[in-house]
């Protein structure tokens, strides 16, 4: 991964594609509350789901930003 690659939150990626949380949750076979927790960084996204999210949003796994707290 290049160190200067842009990072994206799954919230901004979803919004850029005009998708609802419900649509993405259904596509991933998770509950709406689970997906909402992912976006809010309340619960962790497993490795396989993170890889699938990167593919779904057409970005590199290293570009996904899950932790918004510093």
Dihedral angle, C-alpha 26, 60, 42, 69, nearest 10 °: -150
List the domains of the chain with CATH numbers.
8-62 (1.10.260.40)
Closest C-alpha among 20, 18, 69 to residue 40: 69
Q: Rounded to 5 degrees, what angle do the CA atoms 30, 39, 32 make?
A: 30
| pTM of the shown model | 0.81
Q: What pLDDT, in 10s, does the model give residues 18-45?
A: 999 999 999 999 999 999 999 988 888 8
pLDDT at 2: 57
Looking at per-residue confidence, does 6 or 65 come out higher? Answer: 6
Phi, psi at residue 31, to the nearest 5°?
-70, 160
């Amino acid at each position: 991964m290049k160190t200067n690659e842009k990072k994206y939150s799954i919230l901004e990626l979803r919004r850029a594609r005009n998708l609802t949380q419900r649509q993405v949750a259904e596509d991933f076979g998770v509950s709406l509350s689970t997906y909402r927790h992912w976006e809010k960084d309340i619960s962790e996204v497993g490795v396989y789901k993170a890889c699938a999210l990167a593919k779904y949003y057409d970005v590199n796994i290293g570009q996904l930003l899950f932790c918004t707290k510093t």
